[in-house]
Amino acid sequence: MCSVLFRPDYRVYTDQDVHMLRFVRRSRDLGFPVEAIGELLGLWRDRSRHSADVKRLALAHVADLRQKIGQLEEMARTLESLASCCQGDDRPNCPILADLEGAAVPPQRGRRGAVEGFGPVR
pLDDT (tens, 9 = 90+) of the chain, 122 residues, equals 566 556 677 788 899 999 999 999 999 999 999 999 999 999 999 999 999 999 999 999 999 999 999 999 999 999 999 999 999 999 999 999 999 998 644 555 555 555 555 455 44
Q: Is residue 119 part of a domain?
A: no
Specify the pLDDT at position 97. Answer: 94
Which residues does 107 contact at the CB level (< 8 Å), separation at least 6? 115, 116, 117, 118
Let me know if residue 27 belongs to a domain: yes
pLDDT at 103 (0 to 100): 60
Residue 13, pLDDT score: 87
Number of helices followed by number of strands (H, E) in the chain: 4, 4
Domain of 18, CATH number, reads: 1.10.1660.10
Domain-located, residue 56? yes
Q: Tell me what pLDDT residue 122 has.
A: 41
- 43 by DSSP, 3-state: which? helix
Return d(Cα 58, Cα 50) in angstroms, integer.
13
Indicate whether 10 belongs to any domain.
yes
Q: Is residue 74 part of a domain?
A: yes
Residue 109 counted as domain residue: no
This model's pTM is above 0.75 = no
What pLDDT does 3 receive? 61
Range of the domain at 55: 5-103
The total number of structural domains in the chain stands at 1
Q: Is residue 117 part of a domain?
A: no
Task: Indicate whether 67 belongs to any domain.
Answer: yes
